[in-house]
Amino acid sequence: MLTIFSFITQYVSAEPQTLKVWHAYRDAEAEVLEDILDAYDQKHPELILEVLPVAYDAYASKLESAIPRNNGPDVFIYAHEKIGSWSEIGLIEPITIDIDPSRFYDVSLDAVTYNGQIYGVPLAVKSLVLYCNDELIESPPQSTDDIFTISETLPPDVFTLAYPATDAYFQMPWLFGFGGGFFDTSGNSTFENPANARSLDFMKSMDTAGILPKEPDAALATHLFNNQQAAMTISGPWFLSSIEDGVSFSVHPLPTVSETGEPAKPLLTVEAGFVSGFSQQKTESMALLNHLTSLNNATKRALGSRQVVPNKEAWNNPALQNDAILSAFKAQMTKSVPTPNIPNMTAVWEPMARAVRRVHRGAMTGKQALEQASLEFQIYTKPAPTPANPTPYIAVAIAGLLAGLFWFVRQFQRVQDEVWNSRTAYLYVAPAAIAMTLLTAIPFVVGALVSLFAHYQGEFTFVGLANFLDILLARDWPMTSSLSFYFTLVVTVGWTLGNLLLHVGIGLALALLLREPWLKFKGIYRVLLIVPWAIPNYITALIWKGMFNQQFGAINGLLTACGLEAVSWFAKFSTSFAANLITNTWLGFPFMMVVSLGALQSIPRDLEDAASVDGASGWQRFWHITLPLLKPALLPAVILGSVWTFNMFNVIYLVSAGEPDSSTDILISDAYRWAFSRGNRYGYASAYAVLIFGILLGYSNLGNRIAGRKTI
């Protein structure tokens, strides 16, 4: 009897355990992975695998917010770059299963190792390689000198090499090929390494020789390669899906740097399987990772989704050996450098990108650009301010809440009868009020509170008003620096005023024209003029970005057709600011036109006719009759339009990208960069946001008072 009871107890208690698995794969990669996981799930009835694909753009933030709250996965797949910061906050667990080092290529294990401890199991690797158009060149270059030799044999309308040369990530192969780097063995920055400078000067030499197109980016490189206008390009495995049918191409490892005799070494990204540091099933999670990287499953992933797997034995498979593209990526894997996984690596990209662009446009030499980049990196990675005592702040907050509550009660007592009598109306607006509170008010309060903290290497420290003092007292940058708050504020105000003048001027002029009775086809004109406003602004911004391209843009095409020189629009502040202004004017004038046109319909033409009979000129009729009657409608529109323009992030980010040297950034785009590309200084960025809110609140109140006086 006892034996039966023990058996039943054991059976009932052995309920299947749920194991959550997250990944960001799509298409074939996702299908193969989920097939492998389904097979594992069926063989292990004691487990239930919950597999969740997550959008890549929000993947890291979801992991960082969900895992510490026990809402995240037990196992997840992600690139190795965040191992340093994640390990220090306990987000990931050191790998405890016995990994045979001979099973993987050394470079892949180096990538997932931090402070001597392995934190992930390598699943796949990705790096840049050389794509060659086989119809334009007979054989790939073996050295950088060969690139210059090939350029002499190509037609004048064909570029030798088209790739995003101004992107810091694409500069890395030359940088490491010249023997450069960013950190020494102790983790100290080495931006000013002479080898780094030589790599930048080499990139500029290719530009000077006409090997590269002007202002190259990924879209332009893809277009040129597909249209037989570029003999070669540098890209990763993602480029394969962009190559059009009919283009004859081959893939090869990057050439050797002639000056050093070392191969060009791109950064290697290792997609690894990680175990959450908060998982309750660590043993089962480790076993699942071991299964994913087995020889059989590694081969399945390589053949089924064409992943470049770091398992050595998998490459003994004849199908993989005969795949020329995968073999090229595999050969490049052994000639690459794992992206440093230390926490400060996130602060490298923006200073390095600035350095590359400065050299590319000829503003600085490689040495000068890197000296400036080193200074910027030091500021981005400086330690958090001294922690502050939160007690005074809490006391002030409590006093403010009590005062606000007292004021609310007094106000409510005065109108409680009116509120009760209108209770039905309040019930109707209650859902909207609740939604606004949840979606706007609470996030704003939380964001404002974040401004009192400093975020450094995954930890938040209460620092009080230190972030505001750093910004307002210009402790990091001189006031005249393009990275200072005051410089950006001046640019933002100038940006807003310039746009308002053009929006109102053009919109009002078109509205006056469209109301004239002699104008034919008014309906068609109205529809066409509203189109810029109807199209999403990020699409319009990307279109104008292409039109401003120095070499292939339509605007420079018109200039050269008129006998003028092409303009490098983003090389100087004046032209870059003008490019942003033109783009946003195109986006903004239809709104003012529609408002003005509607207001003009309510103005009797008899008033203008009477003034005309009295001898008033057209300008006098407009200034003394039409404009005063338009002001009640225009002033609120101007206030609204100025707030929109003040925070017009998309145009700045997509058109000029702040170039040159962030001088055309506005406050909102600068706040974004502090949060996501300058060392993740979230508290500093939140302080920017609070200051922006304060400026706009004061401006809106002033504008509403002016509008109120004008409408009395």
Alpha carbon separation from 90 to 64, 72, 94, 559, 675 (Å, rounded)? 11, 14, 9, 58, 22
Q: Is the pLDDT of residue 547 over 90?
A: yes
**CATH number of the domain within which 656 lies:** 1.10.3720.10
More confident residue, 522 or 221: 221
pLDDT in tens, 261-296: 999 999 999 999 999 999 999 999 999 998 998 999
Instruction: For residues 276 and 259, state if they share a domain.
Output: no
Token duo for residue 400: 């403010």
Instruction: For residues 147 and 242, state if they share a domain.
Output: yes
Q: Is the pLDDT of residue 598 over 90?
A: no
pLDDT at 346: 86
pLDDT at 35: 94
pLDDT in tens, 364-392: 999 999 999 999 998 888 888 889 898 99
Q: Which residues pair with 104 in a beta bridge?
A: 311
Instruction: For residues 113 and 199, state if they share a domain.
Output: no
Residue 215 falls inside a structural domain: yes
What's the rounded Cα separation, in Å, for the pair 510 and 519?
12
Question: Phi first, then psi: what are they for 467, rounded to 5°?
Answer: -65, -40
Q: Is 171 within 8 Å of 165 (Cβ atoms)?
A: yes
Residue 116 falls inside a structural domain: yes
pLDDT at 5: 45
Question: What does the radius of gyration of the chain's CA atoms come to, in whole angstroms?
Answer: 31
pLDDT at 343: 86
Q: Which residues pair with 76 in a beta bridge?
A: 22, 274
Residue 618 falls inside a structural domain: yes
The dihedral over CA atoms of 676, 307, 263, 348, expressed in degrees to the nearest 10, equals 10
- Cα of 251 vs its chain's centroid, Å: 29
pLDDT at 185: 77
What's the rounded Cα separation, in Å, for the pair 549 and 577?
15
What's the rounded Cα separation, in Å, for the pair 358 and 364?
6
Token duo for residue 318: 């004849």
The mean pLDDT value for 209-235 works out to: 93
Alpha carbon separation from 129 to 265, 345, 465, 658 (Å, rounded)? 10, 22, 48, 29
Instruction: For residues 354 and 217, state if they share a domain.
Output: yes
Instruction: For residues 578 and 651, state if they share a domain.
Output: yes
Total structural domains in the chain?
Answer: 4
Residue 562 falls inside a structural domain: yes
What's the rounded Cα separation, in Å, for the pair 509 and 174?
54
Question: Residue 601: pLDDT band by 50, 70, 90 thresholds?
Answer: confident
pLDDT at 618: 76
Residue 33 falls inside a structural domain: yes
Question: Phi first, then psi: what are they for 594, rounded to 5°?
Answer: -65, -45
pLDDT at 186: 75
Alpha helices in 132-182 (DSSP H): 144-151, 168-177
pLDDT in tens, 193-207: 999 999 999 999 999
Q: Is the pLDDT of residue 228 over 90?
A: yes
- pTM equals 0.87
pLDDT at 161: 96
What's the rounded Cα separation, in Å, for the pair 423 and 134?
76
pLDDT at 690: 93
pLDDT at 12: 45
Instruction: For residues 555 and 502, state if they share a domain.
Output: yes
Instruction: For residues 693 and 584, state if they share a domain.
Output: yes
The mean pLDDT value for 56-66 works out to: 87
What's the rounded Cα separation, in Å, for the pair 217 and 222?
9
pLDDT at 458: 65
Write out the DSSP string of 22-58.
EE---HHHHHHHHHHHHHHHHH-TTEEEEEEE--GGG
Question: Residue 457: pLDDT band by 50, 70, 90 thresholds?
Answer: low
Residue 301 falls inside a structural domain: yes
The mean pLDDT value for 483-487 works out to: 92
Provide the residue range defining the domain that includes 520: 485-711
pLDDT in tens, 611-644: 777 777 878 888 878 888 888 888 888 888 888 9
pLDDT at 2: 43
Q: Which residues pair with 51 in a beta bridge?
A: 21
Residue 469 falls inside a structural domain: no
Q: Is 298 within 8 Å of 116 (Cβ atoms)?
A: no
Token duo for residue 59: 């993947």
pLDDT at 409: 86
Domain end, chosen from 450, 474, 499, is at: 450
Instruction: For residues 616 and 511, state if they share a domain.
Output: yes
Q: Is 500 within 8 Å of 642 (Cβ atoms)?
A: yes
What's the rounded Cα separation, in Å, for the pair 463 and 687?
12
- DSSP letter at 311 equals B
Instruction: For residues 426 and 495, state if they share a domain.
Output: no
What's the rounded Cα separation, in Å, for the pair 347 and 679?
5
Work out whether strand 47-53 and strand 17-23 pair parallel, antiparallel, or are unpaired.
parallel
Q: How far apart are the first and last CA of the chain?
A: 94
pLDDT at 17: 86
Q: Of the ranges 141-145, 346-350, 406-410, 595-599, which is most confident?
A: 141-145
What's the rounded Cα separation, in Å, for the pair 301 and 288?
15
Q: Is 629 within 8 Å of 601 (Cβ atoms)?
A: no
Token duo for residue 387: 């922690």
Q: Is 370 within 8 Å of 357 (Cβ atoms)?
A: no
Instruction: For residues 704 and 627, state if they share a domain.
Output: yes
The mean pLDDT value for 495-508 works out to: 93
Q: Is the pLDDT of residue 341 over 70?
A: yes
pLDDT at 14: 55
Residue 61 falls inside a structural domain: yes
Domain end, chosen from 403, 425, 450, is at: 450
The mean pLDDT value for 647-654 works out to: 93
Question: Phi first, then psi: what are they for 660, rounded to 5°?
Answer: -85, 135
Instruction: For residues 698 and 598, state if they share a domain.
Output: yes
pLDDT at 195: 95
Instruction: For residues 116 and 136, state if they share a domain.
Output: no
Q: Please identify which residue in the block is written with the tokens 């000077």.
A: 208
Mean pLDDT of the chain: 89
The mean pLDDT value for 309-333 works out to: 94
**CATH number of the domain within which 243 lies:** 3.40.190.10
Q: Which three-class secondary structure string do you get for 623-660?
A: HHHHHHHHHHHHHHHHHHHHHHHHCCHHHHHHHHCCCC
- b/e per residue, 431-444, with b = 16+ CB within 10 A? eeeeeeeeeeeeee
